Amino acid sequence: MRIIMLGAPGAGKGTQAKKIAEKYGIPHISTGDIFRANIKNGTELGKKAKTYMDQGLLVPDELTCDLVVDRIQQPDAQKGYVLDGFPRTIPQAECLTDALNKLNSKIDYAIDVDVPDENIVNRMSGRRACLKCGATYHIVYAAPKAEGVCDVCGEPLVLRDDDKPETVSKRLKVYHEQTQPLIDYYTGQGVLKTVDGTRNLDEVFQSITEILGE
**88 carries an active-site annotation:** yes
Q: What is the DSSP secondary structure assignment for residue 57, as one 8-state letter?
A: P
List the catalytic residue out of 88, 102, 128, 173.
88
Angle value at C-alpha 164, between 14 and 201, nearest 5 degrees = 30
List the catalytic residue out of 18, 50, 164, 171.
171
List the catalytic residue out of 18, 48, 50, 160.
160
CA 56 remoteness from chain centre: 20
Quick check: 3 and 81 in contact, CB under 8 A? yes
Cis peptide before 165 (omega within 30 of 0): no
**199 carries an active-site annotation:** no
Q: Residue 128's beta-bridge partner residues? A: 137
* Phi, psi of 61, deg, nearest 5: -50, -45
List the catalytic residue out of 19, 71, 123, 127.
127
List the catalytic residue out of 13, 50, 123, 199.
13
**127 carries an active-site annotation:** yes
Sequence-ordered list of residues with C-beta below 8 angstroms from that of 181, at least 6 positions apart, any chain: 89, 90
CA separation for the pair 94, 199 (Å, rounded): 32
CA separation for the pair 150, 136 (Å, rounded): 8
Q: Which sequence positions are flagged as catalytic?
A: 13, 88, 127, 160, 171
